[in-house]
Amino acid sequence: MTNLLDVSGLRLDYGRTMAVKGIDLAVPPGSVVCLIGANGAGKTTTMRGLSGLLRAAGGTVRFEGTDITNAPAHRIARLGIRQVPEGRQVFAEMTVDENLRLGGLQVPNPQEFRNRRERVLARFPRLQERLTQQAGLLSGGEQQMLALGRALMGAPRLLLLDEPSMGLAPLFVEEIFRIIADLKREGTTILLVEQNAQAALEIADYAYVLESGRITLHGPGAQIADDPKVVAAYLGGH
Ligand code: ATP
């Protein structure tokens, strides 16, 4: 089966700092692939490279076989790659509904737009209850749901989730992982960056470990979760 996303030798720099030093990774359609690693390993940088927010210094990114290396972010979004950035970044001054509508701006068919909005609101009842509220007044967990809902308005073919559970209360963390599991069951392809390695590896079909800008280990999620080095470094040594 061909991969939805194929990354080969990707290098990403900040000036003279090499943050991502030539990584290979693949995301097959319908799978959840996770990227784990310590602070500063290059996870967010990788996501920003894939969504076109950062120019590649080397290597290639292919989406369904099409070379999208250094394609502009709007083109990458239009192809169906949607990123939920670290820290959520909802438009704080706008209402929940306005944020959602922005996520569906490119949907040409009004009926399709309404259907998607209905589906997102059915998935996130909290957003339905807070539609006219200013997004900046939502709790962190609700903002994460809004950011996810906004991305889902684009009916993504590939969803890039950057630390969706970061800074959230335990109940919201559980809910976020439940939603990711639902999306997986529905066949959504997801690349997930997480510090919560335990939960991420439980849900992931395949995982990559990133250390100082290099992939040091990769394999099926369950295998990576059992690896003694991963247990010691990322799973609290148990
Ligand atoms: P975290 O979990 O802390 O977000 P991360 O794995 O996502 O970590 P990145 O944010 O991708 O790591 O950072 C990778 C490296 O690039 C780090 O050494 C970081 O200091 C550096 N870096 C990140 N952003 C910039 C920037 N805007 N300018 C210069 N260096 C940066």
Q: Closest ligand 1 atom, CA of 163? A: 2
Distance of CA 104 to the CA centre of its chain: 18
Asked if residue 136 has its Cβ within 6 Å of ligand 1, the reply is no
Residue 1 has pLDDT above 70, yes or no: no
ipTM over 0.90: yes
Neighbours of 234 (CB within 10 A): 22
Per domain, the residue ranges of the chain are 5-80+156-234, 93-154
Residue 172 has pLDDT above 60, yes or no: yes
- Residue 165 in contact with residue 173, Cβ under 8 Å? yes
In the three-class reduction of DSSP (H, G, I as helix; E, B as strand; rest coil), residue 101 is classed as helix
Q: Closest ligand 1 atom, CA of 86? A: 4
In 207-222, which positions are buried (b, 16+ CB within 10 angstroms) versus exposed (e)? Answer: bbbbbebebebbeebe
- The per-residue pLDDT for 106 is 83
- The per-residue pLDDT for 89 is 87
Distance 18 CA to ligand 1 centre (A): 10
Asked if residue 39 has its Cβ within 6 Å of ligand 1, the reply is yes
- The per-residue pLDDT for 88 is 75
Residue pLDDT, tens place only, 92-145:
999 999 999 999 988 889 999 999 999 999 999 999 999 999 999 999 999 999
Residue pLDDT, tens place only, 173-200:
999 999 999 999 999 999 999 988 999 9
Asked if residue 42 has its Cβ within 6 Å of ligand 1, the reply is yes
- Residue 161 in contact with residue 134, Cβ under 8 Å? no
Strand partners for 63: 5, 66
pLDDT band at 215 (very low <50, low <70, confident <90, very high): very high
Residue pLDDT, tens place only, 47-88:
999 999 999 999 999 999 999 999 999 999 989 999 998 887
- Give CATH for domain 5-80+156-234: 3.40.50.300
Is the pTM higher than 0.90? The answer reads yes
